[in-house]
Structure 1
Amino acid sequence: MERTTANHDVYQADGNTAKPYAILLDGTAVELPTGNLDSVRINGAAGGVRSTVSDLLRWSHALMTRGLPAHEYIDVSRHRLKGCSELFHTAAIIDPTANGGTNYGLGLVRQTTPAALRLISPNRTFFASVLGNNSLSHQVFSHHGNFNGASCSFYLLPESCSAIVLLLNAMGLSEATDWIAQDIIRTLFEFESIDVIKKAHDCVTQFQAWYKLKIQGPFETGRLPASTNRSINDYIGTYRLNGYENFTLWFQPHEDNAEKMELIVNNRPNQKHVLSHYHFDVWEFALASYNEYLKKGYGTYESYVEFLISFQRHTDGTIRALTWCLDGMDVVFTKRD
């Protein structure tokens, strides 16, 4: 593998990299800041690995070629991934409706068709058609990923020693790499025909409805009336996650609006949020429209509560900590100054 790295500095020095984009409601592409996630900083998705189609195909070959050590990783003779217990049964951690022949572990989903193959893709919420109902069964290993203007679909088909690697430098109202991969698999295995273009168009409407249902609607109805805004100076300062000194939230006054403040995460320019008062000791950085949500790269935020910062006070009234819901978990940051 020649151009795969988890080192941010190596990535930055590479002059041939794809810029990330968000696709808005009207189809317009808007460039997003390049994400800073990597192996030596907090919250590095998948270890912060950046790669290429060529390198991932080499890795796929190593996994599926007998005689190479990596082949044992996905031995097709086993009923589940090597080293993975029944704790990785998909019904427990991914999809409660998944059949018992599906499991997940060590970065791959293992399935036997007929199956709905997009178990980790964002499209899974809106489209779960089963492929291969009227065909011979095939084993499929897969993984999907998306982050701030980029998405990927990765499939291994060991019986034919085939691999599908799709990398895309854009995110919109559904995951395009997933649609393309499904169509390729359907063609390879001669599965029943599915109108992928129509399904993708249907997803656009469903994604818009999802934003109103899960983000915009609950945010508007959750605000409590007649709450009082405290002094912004109460909240200004540095907050750290206990045990992770490098995970820092810094709150400062807004330069142009005395009723707002700014949140900066780990001193990253692309992690700067403008906060408005929501109610009581709760502040918010929710967005006015779905387009703004996409432009900001908030595609991984799936609940309105993730846009709320709740502060807690000591008995003397001073701020002692805050709570921020991250990926469904309330995370507490302690005030340091």
Structure 2
Amino acid sequence: MTEDVTSLQERLDSQKSTIEAICKTAGVAGVSIGVLHGGEIVHTKHFGFRNVADKQQADGDTLYGIGSCSKSYFAAVAAALVEEGKLSWTAPTKTIVPEFNASSQVVKDEANMIDSAAHRLRLSGAFHLTFQGDGDHLIHTKDFWTYYTKLSSVTSLRASWIYNSHGYSVLGAQIERVSGRSLAQCLRDYVTKPLALDRTVCELDFHTTPNFAKPYAALADGTPYKLPCRQDFRGHFFEAAAGIYTSLNDTLKYASAVLEAASKLPLKADGPIRESDQLFTSHIPVVNPSFRERSYALDWIRTQLPGVVGVMGDNRRILPIDQLPVIGRGATPRLALYHQGATVGYFPSFYLFPETKSAVMVLTNSIANCDAADWIAQTMIQALFDDKDPIDWLELTRKFTRQCLQYYDDMQDEVRQKRQAGGPKRDLDAYLGDYYDNTGIFYIRIRRHPEKEDALQLEFQGLKKHAYQLRFFYDDTFEWTLSRDETAKRARYHQFDQEYFNFHFHSSDGTAMNSLTWHHDPMVTKPETFERGKSGGLA
């Protein structure tokens, strides 16, 4: 590292007040930040609390969930198995996992491991049937291959990029099939042991594991609300997609190993991270058009700076890509490899720069009112490379937080404006029953609300824990629109489309309902139909 270390550290330290203000504005309980430069750790810092009630601060060994940033670890596992000759990047998936199935015959016959890992299957990536808040998985692993066929084919195989965590479920199944070991054991054998990562796990007990950051979600006023649950991925089909919990110290070790491998392209790495020519090369463009490169490797987005980054997080959902900042202006052009993640109570943001062996790793323990983890990461990147065209990250946080909260207010306004006066024309009993999807493995129970005579209650999978008040909206449509605070307290991710919260009931004979439609998947034009089963008439 040729740069003056003192000057670099002063720039990084000078971001303290900005980061504290970002956390307060967006509602982040705690954050841990690490920076590598020239392959060396040049900065670590912890803000806020891993446990707000007890005022406990995080340290380098504090565990955080990393959600989708887990994918690169399991891609590295797959790469090691390829090098051992047990897996193939290009062999059809069905030759390894015969039960592999899909709604598209072409995907079923031709899809391979790179297609799954690079998100180019072009299947809908929505997961609203398996996750409805409160940290639970509503679809069990035993039903995965039946459930997987529900993912609609949006366009042809390899035509373009659609982010889809189910692809890593398929990759995980291939890893387990050829290795004869669990994903947790493979992670230990191929990643954590070789890299001496002693706080990186996907198989743990949330209640007994020490030094664990508590999970939070931000209320509308920015107050961190402690969540009673975490998402447990042990043995679930999303384990390879989002199941890892790790610490800042371990993420810095991991980043160093990845940088070492990525810096040797196009040659194969000779360290623990193998098959670098596949892991870090471009496999499909991401979010076109883009003047500079913006493509997907295997769980790393490649972006040439100056450019827009953070395109897979909540900030791009809050405002369009043309309102995201361009970083790297006034600095030396360089390649960024990055990924963002989310799980219940945790948002991370990982950035690597192979040319300078630099990294910015950010871990947070909050579902904030914007993707604050990514704004913090970009704040540190700007300081790291001393960009001469500085961006006001705090003002961006304020802007995106305001817009996020405005969406919730707008949904409530839409319901108030469109709700028909006078209530439903039918007796509420006409709507009662269990409504099943076309696989029979997911259903929505509609029953009388136990406390409100003029309302119904929906229960996903018939579970009282997953119940929501269902209110008359118009005609035969009922809604369960949530406020920001209700969303936060149920450990749900942001949902800004009011139509998502509408159930449209249908009757074939003009009396009792025989189906409902729900547009839960924005990638699919038509809403899904749920047919009423035989358990209607619930009181």
Partner of 2:427: 231
1:303 maps to which of 497, 501, 520: 497
Q: What is the CA-CA distance between 1:283 and the residue it aligns to?
A: 1.4
What's 1:69 paired with? 274
Q: Which amino acid aligns with 2:418?
A: G
8 Å CA contact 2:202, 2:239 repeated in 1? no
Q: Distance in 1 between matches of 2:396 and 2:519?
A: 32
Which residue, 430, 433, 445 being the options, matches 1:250? 445
Distance 2:235 2:532 in 1: 24
Inter-partner Cα distance in structure 1 for 2:373 and 2:229: 20
Q: Tell me if 1:261 matches 2:466.
A: no
Q: Which has the larger radius of gyration?
A: 2
- TM-score (ref. length: structure 1): 0.81
2:350 aligned counterpart, secondary structure: strand
> Which residue type is aligned with residue 276 of structure 2?
H
Runs of at least 4 residues of structure 1 off by over 6 A?
none
Q: Call closer, same or farther: CA 1:120–1:269 in 2, change over 3 Å.
A: farther
3-state DSSP class of the match of 2:447?
Answer: strand
**Counterpart residue number, 2:399:** 202
Does the 8 A contact of 2:407 with 2:496 survive in 1?
no
Establish whether residue 119 from structure 1 lines up as the match of residue 311 from structure 2: yes
Partner of 2:335: 139
**Tell me, which stretches of 5 or more residues in structure 2 are unaligned?**
1-191, 193-197, 262-268, 535-539
SS of 1:203's equivalent in the other structure is: helix
- The alpha carbon displacement at 1:263 in A equals 1.7
User: In 2, are the aligned partners of 1:39 and 1:47 still within 8 Å (CA)?
Assistant: no
Structure 1 position 275 matched with structure 2 position 480 = no
Residue 56 (structure 1) shift: 4.1
The amino acid that maps onto 2:339 is H
Kindly state the Cα deviation for residue 12 of structure 1 after the two structures are TM-superposed: 4.3
Cα deviation for residue 267 of structure 1 reads 5.1
**Corresponding position of 2:170:** none
Are the aligned partners of 2:231 and 2:343 in contact in 1 as well (CA < 8 Å)?
A: no
- Assess, with a 3 A threshold, how the Cα gap between structure 1 residues 200 and 32 changes in structure 2: closer, same or farther: same
For residues 62 and 290 of structure 1, do their structure 2 counterparts lie closer, same or farther at Cα, with a shift above 3 Å needed?
same
Relative to its length, the structure with more strand (as a share) is 1
Q: In structure 2, what is the equivalent of residue 212 of structure 1? A: 409
- Residue 159 (structure 1) aligns with: 355
Q: Which residue pairs with 2:485 in the alignment?
A: 291
**Aligned sequence identity (%):** 24
Q: Structure 1 residues 50, 327: closer, same or farther in 2, change over 3 A?
A: farther
Amino acid at match of 1:153: S
* Offset, 1:269: 5.5
Structure 2 length-normalised TM: 0.53
Unaligned runs of 5+ in 1: 92-96
Equivalent position of 2:25 in the other structure: none
Shift of 1:195: 2.5
Q: Give distance in 1, aligned partners of 2:415 and 2:240.
A: 30
Count of residues paired in the alignment:
318
Distance change (3 Å), C-alpha of 1:98 and 1:164 = same
Counterpart code for 1:234: A
1:176 and 1:268 map into 2 onto residues whose CA distance is: 33
User: Partner of 2:398: helix, strand, or coil?
Assistant: helix
Q: How far has the Cα of 1:211 moved from its partner?
A: 2.8
Secondary structure of the 1:90 match is coil
User: For 1:123, what is the secondary structure of its paired residue?
Assistant: helix
Q: Matches of 1:199 and 1:174 in 2, distance apart?
A: 10
Asked if 2 retains the 8 angstrom alpha-carbon contact of 1:240 and 1:248, the reply is yes
CA distance in 1, matches of 2:474, 2:257: 55
CA RMSD of aligned residues (A): 2.9
